[in-house]
Amino acid sequence: MYLEKLRLDGRVAVVTGGGRGIGLAISEALAEAGAHVIIADMDAEIAAAGQASLAEKGFPADVVELDVTKPADVTAAADAIFARHGRIDILVANAGIARSGVAAEDTTDEHWLSVIDVNLNGVFWCNRAFSRHMLAAGRGAIVNIGSMSGFIVNRPQNQSYYNASKAAVHHLTKSLATEWAARGVRVNAVAPTYIETPLMKFAWDVPGMVEGWLEDTPMGRLGQPHEIASVVHFLASDAASLMTGSIVQADAGFTCW
């Protein structure tokens, strides 16, 4: 009974930013559990590379080229996926950018707006468009990727725009969860610690930065994409049937200190 609840056979799952990093690991986890995965990524080459790496492991996936900052495109993609598959069961709103390292007083309008546009607006456009199909069906699971940066302020790198965007994702998750709870659609978020992906590559070039992060981390290590993917898999599955509006911290204990 319990392992069965983790199966996703026959379900259609969309993962934004699913072509690499955490999104690719999530795509693989959901596919391994039996879902038909659609990688929705802005970069067609990255999406195709992700698709190829899943295919090598025996998991066929579809690809949709999608920029989550374009609300009309997001709605069109949701409608097209529904028209093609007849159902949308799972959305993982994972696409995000960091652009870390700029002091608040030096942050340009363009810098602030670009991060908010992908990390917050993009998450809302996706939740809005995909939820319509889920609400009509009376079932669905949405997992938004937040961050421990929505709870704490990272150091030493300045990234006020990123931290604010992720705190907003957490509260948006709770707001949508309550609106849709009685209509069969669950909305949760995962708040990871530092995960080794291209997004945090900048830190390796700054002497002492990663070492400092590790000192602030009770487990004393970075996370790997698969360690976030398994949490997302759980939240997307019936094993999490009583969970909505939860922000699940997967952070190696970082936020305890």
Of residues 73 and 183, the one with the C-beta less far from ligand NDP = 73
> Any contact of residue 79 with ligand NDP (CB under 6 A)?
no
Coil, strand or helix at 191:
strand
Out of 32, 34, 43, 239, the only residue in the binding site for ligand NDP (CB under 6 A) is 43
Task: Name the nearest CA neighbour of 176 among 230, 229, 137, 140.
Answer: 140
Q: How far is the CB of 88 from ligand NDP (least distance, A)?
A: 17
Binding region for ligand NDP (CB under 6 A) out of 28-36, 75-83, 101-109, 198-206: 198-206
Site string for ligand NDP, 91-130 (x = CB under 6 A): ---xxxx--------------------x---x--------
The answer to whether residues 226 and 25 touch, using CB atoms and an 8 Å cutoff, is yes
Binding region for ligand NDP (CB under 6 A) out of 37-45, 103-111, 151-159, 206-214: 37-45
In DSSP terms, 195 is beta-bridged to: 223
What is the Cα–Cα distance from 67 to 122, expressed in whole angstroms? 8
Out of 12, 31, 35, 42, the only residue in the binding site for ligand NDP (CB under 6 A) is 42
Q: Is 162 a catalytic residue?
A: yes
Q: Which amino acid is at 74?
A: V
Asked whether the CA dihedral 44, 127, 143, 5 is positive or negative, the reply is negative
Task: State the Rg of the chain over Cα.
Answer: 17
Q: Catalytic residue positions?
A: 162
